Structure 1
Amino acid sequence: MKSGSSMAEETHLVEASRRNGEEIEQQVKSWIDSAKKINDEASLVIQENQQANIKYFKGLCLNPKKRHKHSRKAAKKVKAVVEVYEEGDFQRVSYRTIPEETWLPSLMKGYEAFESRMSTSKDIISALSDPDVNMVGVYGQGGIGKTMLVKEVSRQAKFKQLFDEIVFVEVSKTPDIKKIQGEIADKLGLQLRKESESGRARALCARLKKENKILLILDDIWERLDLDKVGIPFEEDHKGCKLLLTARNPDVLTNKMESQSNFPIGVLNEEEAWSLFKKIVGNCIEDGNLNSIAKDVAKACRGVPKVIVTKARELKNKGEYEWKNALGELIRKPSSKSFKVARSFRNLSMKLGLGS
């Protein structure tokens, strides 16, 4: 801000910064409030002075002393306005803030707190709270709800103030190191000006070390991800940085990423599956015949949340023919890969006491 510029110019600059997602400096906020207040007061005094002058020249006010008093008051206010404006010489009016993940403030839309997974959620939070644990993993077949679970767990961890910052990044089957670096940097308010992968890694590592307690969620890992190559400080390099990983294969977590605590996520039990299915399809299954078919369709989804949600959305408000057709398709494909994996996870869940 430059001294002598108008209040309107300063306001425009501040508004432009706000629209750009930046936080206004507190001293600038205070200055704007003071400037507006003194500006309004000066305008009122000047207006009163002008009215007094009009009355004087019209012969309605013949008291020169009173007119002089108005003029002196107006001059003082004008001087005060000039002084306040001269104080508005700031090096900067705003600063960039770190935008919070959209799902962090409150319970995520679409998240279901299944009873069979509550103990697992508590165990994951406990592992993240352990100062000797730097990496925690969650594994299960595709569509089982790993991503939703780790997001909800991290939301609870933030509420418990286990971390100052939480960053979520999808790794995927074919990871792009530069893209991963860019996503982490964006969520930390860091501009990566380096073109080389190694240069970006150094800049990102330095930025992450400035965070006292940070949780990085690396979602959907298929193979070993070189943390040094990305620029993620780990273990002795920065104990305040913890990782929460999701993968389909437990071997990726245990052997390739060397995660210290890993938790399986199994299929839903029959009661949970029906509850989820019914919640999505709504009242359209109140009809006696349709209700019976709907229960069979829900069972045929084998307790896989993604399959349940997909089928429920497809069949919502559809007729009996579409329901029977969908049931037939599910029954005819009991040996598909997804359902084979679902069955193995159901067995694993039973052994671990995670499902009924």
Structure 2
Amino acid sequence: MESLKDATTSMIGVYGMAGVGKTWLVKEVERQLHEVKLFNSVVRATASRIPDIKEIQDQIAYSLGLKLEENSPVVRARKLYGRLRNEKNVLIILDDLWKKLDLKEVGIPFGSQHKGCKILLTSRSRNVVSNEMGATKTFAVDDLDEEEAWEFFKKMDGNSVESDEELRSTAIEVVKKCARLPLALATVARALRNESLFGWRDALQQLQRPCLEHSSSEISAEVHSNIKLSINHLSSEDLKQIFLLCSLLRRDTRIEDLLRYARGLGLIKGVNSMKAERDRLLKMMRTLKESCLLRDSKSTNEEYFDVHDLTYSLAKSIASKDNQVLALTEVDKDEDEDVVADWPNGESMKECNKIILRDPSINKLPDQLNCPQLFLFLLFSKDLSLTLPDNFFKEAKNLKVLGLTCMHFSSLPSSIGLLTSLSTLCLDHCNLGDNLTIIGALKNLNVLSLAGSDIKIVPKEIGQLLKLKLLDVSGCTKLKTISANVLPSLSKLEELYMGGTCIQWGQPNASLAELNKLSHLSTLEVEIPDAKAAPEDFFQKLQKLERYKICIGKEWVRFRNYQYSRTLKLRLNTSIDDFDHGIKKLVKRTLDLQLDKLKGVKINALEEVTDEERLSHLQNLHIQNGLDIESIINARNEFPHLQSLTLEGLPQLVSFCCQDKIDGTSLPQRALPLFGEKPTKIPG
């Protein structure tokens, strides 16, 4: 309402997923506007998925008392345009836009054509209202919180659920299954009004299962049909497949893991490099979020994504059609009364192409997977009693993606060696021992992740994986050895993650010089305890990297902040001038710079690590444990994109800048002098 009163705002967009209440919201806005008489006229038209220009014109004309009897779209638009121009101020509500609507074609004056005409849009897509239509102000409509959902449900039900305690407890479970979505809450509440207890229990049973096309349930049909329409409207089959994979993986899945699975399944087409695939995937994820089919993780961690409960339910039913997907998750265990305790029979699994098991309650896996069509197998399990039989994958030779997480192996099943079509293998956080020689048989492997596992050595057999593009051994805290000449053998390697390891660089093990031989390397995460172990031109040759997290010096904690694609952490025992000047060039390109224990530095701490006065890329600066540091920068330094600054453990700090005057362009906001031992953060 405040935005509608703002004379500088001419178009407002409201967006959110299907069933969240966008139409209801603008109807309430319309009602209140009639009361306060902010506009001479308020008209509303529904655009729908396939907009009919003539129908939209008729809806607007009817609200204005105008008759459009002409057949020519151009004549009708001209007549409507003239009528709207005669209104001193008018609000036009265009509901349910699926794509850009040509206002001129409809006959709606806008902007300088008629400053008294404002437009309020609703859509399932942020992109439609913001980018395609050009709304200067947008509002996201999210689902209700738990208390709001319960109060709204009771109101729609007529408060009948408060009459009986057992009925009330069942109703609370029903509300949970409606996932705080207003349309679902209203639909179910109205259907169950004045229903008996057994009717409520039956409804809960129906809601606990995905809404399949052949289901007799009518309670959630309207909600699911609305969401399904959004899925079907996605612009490409590739985008739909990525969405379905996201939905099956659901929350607590890293976008990075999604990339590795999608890469193995060949879902990202038309690109050749990991960098290009990541860019394409991130663009697709943005499209899905703007379409309100995906959402940001509730943990606010940008590494992860989330899927609405009802969207997950429908996507699971679509993917599970014709027994093509078996997806059993912790959610199923918690919420369904009928828990699958035994493996499905062999015949029903022959057409299955994806299996995703997230802490399943299955007591025992079969001796063999009877799934000749299987492309994807993911098992996340903390149950130490759940084991994989030796011949488990013998009849799944078409498998392209295999992910086993938190498993304990005395040795890997020998049938893994038969998976010659495998493109992605992830054995994250597994107890593997060092018997990994079988992996050398997987000649078509593009992605190998052993992140967080207990391996102590990267064996020479991995050097046989000549098609490998990504190797991840990050967080392998026991890893000390990479066999010499393994890394140079991986001539196609583009991404190498080794953060959080204790690798001993140098003979008889791999040397840092071997990294410079990887001509396609674009991403590197590595810890170098002693910069003197690096060859003379080592850092100079790292200038080609697109993404990096490089830690130089001992006793750094593992990389935790993945917000920045280029991070450099320096802890040097001597002056940086004693090393390769390539370090200073890395500083120039770094987004996240962290400095620890700069010895002998008093004035202008940054001058120690860079010759540049303008660090145009720097977004985060963290300086700690500088016992002698009195100032951080001089007045010539500029950081046009700095977002955050942390100073910690600088007992001699007198001023941020070593000169009295600070140029206003040096920081996004002027920094005040900082004192004290505690971390000080200045937002950009």
TM-score, normalized by length of structure 1? 0.59
Percent sequence identity over matched residues? 44
Query: What is the rounded CA distance, in whole Å, between the counterparts of 2:121 and 2:157 in structure 1?
Result: 32
Query: What is the rounded CA distance, in whole Å, between the counterparts of 1:145 and 1:348 in structure 2?
Result: 21
Instruction: Quote the offset at 1:329 in angstroms.
Output: 2.1
Query: What is the rounded CA distance, in whole Å, between the counterparts of 2:73 and 2:169 in structure 1?
Result: 57
Q: CA separation of 1:346/1:247 partners in 2, compared to 1, >3 Å: closer, same or farther?
A: same
Query: What is the rounded CA distance, in whole Å, between the counterparts of 1:289 and 1:231 in structure 2?
Result: 57
Give the match for residue 66 of structure 1. none
Instruction: Please identify, of 178-187 and 200-209, the stretch whose mean Cα deviation from structure 2 is larger.
Output: 178-187
Query: What is the rounded CA distance, in whole Å, between the counterparts of 2:25 and 2:299 in structure 1?
Result: 16
2:183 counterpart of 1:306: yes
Cα deviation per residue 1:298-330 (whole Å; 9 max; x = unaligned)? 111011111001111111222222212211222
Asked if the contact 1:140–1:345 (Cα under 8 Å) also holds between the matched residues in 2, the reply is no
Q: CA separation of 1:227/1:209 partners in 2, compared to 1, >3 Å: closer, same or farther?
A: same
Cα deviation per residue 1:45-96 (whole Å; 9 max; x = unaligned)? xxxxxxxxxxxxxxxxxxxxxxxxxxxxxxxxxxxxxxxxxxxxxxxxxxxx
Give the match for residue 22 of structure 2. 146
Give the match for residue 358 of structure 2. none
Aligned counterpart for 1:331 among listed residues 192, 203, 208: 208
Corresponding letter in the other structure for 2:182: P
2:7 counterpart of 1:131: yes
2:71 counterpart of 1:195: yes
Matches within 5 A, 1:97-116: none
Give the match for residue 168 of structure 2. 291
Cα deviation per residue 1:95-128 (whole Å; 9 max; x = unaligned)? xxxxxxxxxxxxxxxxxxxxxxxxxxxxxx1221
Instruction: Quote the offset at 1:264 in angstroms.
Output: 0.4
Query: What is the rounded CA distance, in whole Å, between the counterparts of 2:92 and 2:16 in structure 1?
Result: 19
Asked if the contact 1:192–1:200 (Cα under 8 Å) also holds between the matched residues in 2, the reply is yes
Asked if the contact 1:266–1:346 (Cα under 8 Å) also holds between the matched residues in 2, the reply is no
Secondary structure class of the residue paired with 1:266: coil
Which structure's CA Rg is the greater one? 1
Query: What is the rounded CA distance, in whole Å, between the counterparts of 1:270 and 1:346 in structure 2?
Result: 19
Instruction: Quote the offset at 1:216 in angstroms.
Output: 0.3
- 5+ residue gaps, structure 2, are 213-223, 229-246, 248-288, 302-684
Give the match for residue 239 of structure 1. 115
Query: What is the rounded CA distance, in whole Å, between the counterparts of 2:69 and 2:87 in structure 1?
Result: 20
Q: CA separation of 1:349/1:165 partners in 2, compared to 1, >3 Å: closer, same or farther?
A: farther
Instruction: Please identify, of 283-292 and 237-246, the stretch whose mean Cα deviation from structure 2 is larger.
Output: 283-292
Q: CA separation of 1:334/1:271 partners in 2, compared to 1, >3 Å: closer, same or farther?
A: farther
Corresponding letter in the other structure for 1:180: I
TM-score, normalized by length of structure 2? 0.31
Matches within 5 A, 1:218-237: 218-237=94-113
Query: What is the rounded CA distance, in whole Å, between the counterparts of 1:308 and 1:346 in structure 2?
Result: 23
2:148 counterpart of 1:280: no
Give the match for residue 6 of structure 1. none
Query: What is the rounded CA distance, in whole Å, between the counterparts of 2:4 and 2:300 in structure 1?
Result: 25
Aligned counterpart for 1:168 among listed residues 44, 55, 80: 44
Aligned counterpart for 1:207 among listed residues 41, 66, 83: 83
Give the match for residue 78 of structure 1. none
Q: CA separation of 1:264/1:350 partners in 2, compared to 1, >3 Å: closer, same or farther?
A: farther
Query: What is the rounded CA distance, in whole Å, between the counterparts of 2:117 and 2:189 in structure 1?
Result: 40
Give the match for residue 71 of structure 1. none
Query: What is the rounded CA distance, in whole Å, between the counterparts of 2:297 and 2:31 in structure 1?
Result: 30
Aligned-residue CA RMSD (Å) = 2.6
Instruction: Quote the offset at 1:334 in angstroms.
Output: 9.2
Instruction: Please identify, of 339-348 and 157-166, the stretch whose mean Cα deviation from structure 2 is larger.
Output: 339-348
Instruction: Please identify, of 338-347 and 174-183, the stretch whose mean Cα deviation from structure 2 is larger.
Output: 338-347
Cα deviation per residue 1:138-183 (whole Å; 9 max; x = unaligned)? 0111111111111212332343332110001111111110111111
Q: CA separation of 1:344/1:292 partners in 2, compared to 1, >3 Å: closer, same or farther?
A: farther
Query: What is the rounded CA distance, in whole Å, between the counterparts of 1:288 and 1:207 in structure 2?
Result: 58
Matches within 5 A, 1:3-22: none
Give the match for residue 320 of structure 1. 197
Q: CA separation of 1:348/1:190 partners in 2, compared to 1, >3 Å: closer, same or farther?
A: farther
Q: CA separation of 1:246/1:343 partners in 2, compared to 1, >3 Å: closer, same or farther?
A: closer
Instruction: Please identify, of 165-174 and 315-324, the stretch whose mean Cα deviation from structure 2 is larger.
Output: 315-324
Query: What is the rounded CA distance, in whole Å, between the counterparts of 1:332 and 1:189 in structure 2?
Result: 49
Corresponding letter in the other structure for 1:166: V
